Amino acid sequence: MYSGWSPGQAPSNEWIENTNIFLDRAFSMLSLVENDTIKCPCAKCRNYVRHKRFDVEMHLCKHGFRDDYRIWTSHGEGHIEAGSDESLDEADRMDDMLVDLANANPPTIDDEPTASAQAFYRMVSSADQPVHESTTHTTLSAVARLLALKSHYNMSIAHFEANLELLNEILPPESKIPKDFYQSKKLLEGLGMRYVKIDVCYNNCMLYYKENEKKDKCDVCETSRYEEGSGRVPRKVLRYLPITDRLQKLYAYEKTAKMMQSHKRSRSGQMLHPCDGEAWQQFDEDFPDFASDPRNVRLAVATDGFTPFSINAAPYSCWPVFVTPLNLPPCAIMKSEYIFLALVVPGPEHPGKKLNILMQPLVDELLSLWSGVETWDASIKKRFKM
């Protein structure tokens, strides 16, 4: 596996022969093969991404086998016995997450991968990189835990970076913990949780969006798009967080993929779930093609204003718009992890009737989703049109 291959050089005939024997064995084991693919053991994919035989061969010739893969745990050999260390269990769940992500959005195999594929491969690399030699935590698992703590305890960026500074002082100099918040976020870029900034007319008359993207003043009230004397600083900005990727990720994990279909059940005549209501059942009658597949998603949209600053400060009202899938069972529908922030409508005043203008990016995405988007269903290991 490791003799006869060097980066940038043609592999030896012996290496090619032995690699073909390895692939013959792997592809002959039905338990490893899904849709003519196996996990690719190259140094780039590291058993997280599945490819067909030709692509696996090309990857191995170009990148070689992943480091220290002497027991083929993903290609038919048994796992090494391990204790019940909780950190090992955490690492296993991290591996499962990366496999689910790779199945849902397989990275390209081109010579020049896309930016999203590059971000995914960076994340895969950090999943195999121990923080330092005396711990089982990888860089990815450590950063994921730290960012989860930041979110859970509402840490400021300064607080988070102070913790990182302390960790870097305590750990050996060669440790792989990021130095700041930016590097930590960059490491998890492969998750694909992006957001978009869209400039807005100060009076909420229009968005500088699509055909209006290049305009410098509002078509309705002729208010300037930018602050006076500030160059190109917009006066008001709408934050938009696309929901398609997040809906697809619900099907990328086997447990939630099954939960998203739990509403298709025999009805008891009691109001236990939105699917027991007249509106849901009438919609099924009006759109039988949509209703025929329980994986198609019903969404609820809600918004309300809140004051992000002290009441004694200058009055300012901000309007978040939330989206939540109603397919989930009653015990999960209103859990915070299934309520997606889709828009942050800026203040300082109530948007009033102009809220419909500010909802335009979400409406456009919903219309696109109505046409369907290809999605990986981890519960049956197949793609479908969601």
Strand 319-325 to 340-345 pairing = antiparallel
Q: What is the torsion angle, in degrees rounded to the nearest 10, for the CA atoms of residue 57, residue 37, residue 43 and residue 12? A: -20
> Hey, is 15 helix, strand or coil?
helix
301 φ, ψ to 5°?
-120, 135
The DSSP call for residue 81 is: P
**Residues with Cβ < 8 Å from 14, sequence gap 6 or more?**
3, 4
CA 194 to chain centre: 9
Angle at CA 52, nearest 5°, toward 126 and 386?
A: 80
Residue whose pair of structure tokens reads 């809906």 in the numeric block: 247
Any bridge partners for residue 51, and if so which? 38
pLDDT tens across the length of the chain (386 residues): 888 888 877 888 888 888 888 888 888 888 888 878 888 888 877 787 888 888 888 888 888 888 778 888 788 776 444 444 444 344 445 666 666 666 656 665 555 555 555 555 565 665 566 777 767 677 777 888 888 888 888 889 999 899 888 988 888 887 888 888 888 888 777 666 678 999 999 999 999 999 999 998 999 999 998 988 777 899 999 999 999 988 888 888 888 889 998 888 767 778 888 888 899 999 999 999 999 999 999 999 999 888 877 667 677 788 999 999 999 988 888 888 889 999 999 888 888 889 999 999 999 999 999 999 988 888 888 889 99
Q: How far apart are CA 339 and CA 30, in angstroms?
A: 39
* Predicted TM-score (pTM) above 0.75: no
Q: Which residues are 300's β-sheet partners?
A: 324
Three-state SS string over 55-78 comes to HHHHHHHHHCECCCCCCCCCCCCC
**Three-state secondary-structure class, residue 212:** helix
**Of all helices (H) and strands (E), which one includes residue 147?**
helix 139-152
Nearest CA among 317, 327, 325 for reference residue 342: 325
Which residue type sits at 374? E
